[in-house]
Amino acid sequence: MFRQAIALQSAPVDAVAASQLEIEYMAYYERRWLSTAPLFAGVTDALAALKSQGLKLGVCTNRDRASTDVLLASASIADSFDAIVSLGDAPLPKPAADPLLLLMERMEISASEALFVGDSGMDACCAQLSKVRFAAHLGGYAGQPGDLLPNVLSFAGYEQLTSWVLDHRSALFHPVRFTLPCPINLCH
């Protein structure tokens, strides 16, 4: 996006100056926004509760890897995840199935063992194309709740998600192998 903005300038910007501006902007972005983005209430407890039950957790995001790593590290939740797939890791980004399929491959699980937690129509579409159950977080990017269909759960708070997963684990998922691949919608 930064490069596109530079290209729209009325006066040409030389490549060296543009590159330096991009580096400075990204450093500012990481310091001022990514490293200070608050987690949604209940995320840390949800991750701990699910991990304590032996569940595998993963991240599937259209965010680039560098900003994903900064966001997870600054929120002190990077160690909660068994695998991460970010922008550029798969041939096509979400809403295509590619990133979620790659994440499941890396985690050595099948679609029947997965629940994809997301907050956008893109996430719902990715889950559907991957044949994975979808849990819709209502506090994210979706303009309308209908954008988050089909889903097995709509939730406003992460404590609702945790309770639902733990209550339905034996009925829906194989006993030990379960994952919660989720996009980076843990912060607001």
CATH number of domain containing 166: 3.40.50.1000
My answer on whether 65 and 26 are in the same domain is: no
My answer on whether 26 and 107 are in the same domain is: no
pLDDT at 18 over 90: no
In 3-state terms, the chain is what percent helix, strand and coil (to 5)? 50, 15, 35
pLDDT recorded at residue 149 = 94
Looking at the domain assignment, is residue 37 inside a domain?
no
My answer on whether 116 and 155 are in the same domain is: yes
Residue with tokens 């990204």: 26
The rounded distance, in Å, linking the Cα atoms of 130 and 99 is 9
The rounded distance, in Å, linking the Cα atoms of 155 and 135 is 8
My answer on whether 54 and 109 are in the same domain is: yes
Which tens digit of pLDDT belongs to each residue from 61-75? 999 998 899 899 989
* pTM given for the model: 0.78
- Give the dihedral of Cα atoms 121, 126, 130, 132; nearest 10 deg: -50
pLDDT recorded at residue 175 = 41
Own/partner long-range contacts of 13-18 (Cβ < 8 Å, ≥24 apart) = none
**Domain range enclosing 12:** 2-32
Looking at the domain assignment, is residue 187 inside a domain?
no
Instruction: Please compute the mean of the pLDDT values over residues 34-58 and round it to a whole number.
Output: 90
Which tens digit of pLDDT belongs to each residue from 90-132? 999 999 999 999 999 999 999 999 999 999 999 999 999 999 9
DSSP state, 141?
A: S
My answer on whether 101 and 168 are in the same domain is: yes
Looking at the domain assignment, is residue 38 inside a domain?
no
The rounded distance, in Å, linking the Cα atoms of 30 and 70 is 7
The rounded distance, in Å, linking the Cα atoms of 129 and 80 is 26
Q: Give the count of beta carbons closer than 10 Å to the beta carbon of residue 172.
A: 15
pLDDT at 15 over 60: yes
Looking at the domain assignment, is residue 114 inside a domain?
yes
My answer on whether 25 and 111 are in the same domain is: no
My answer on whether 61 and 141 are in the same domain is: yes
Query: How many folded domains does the chain comprise?
Result: 2
Pick the most confident of 28-32, 39-43, 103-107. 103-107
My answer on whether 58 and 103 are in the same domain is: yes
My answer on whether 172 and 110 are in the same domain is: yes
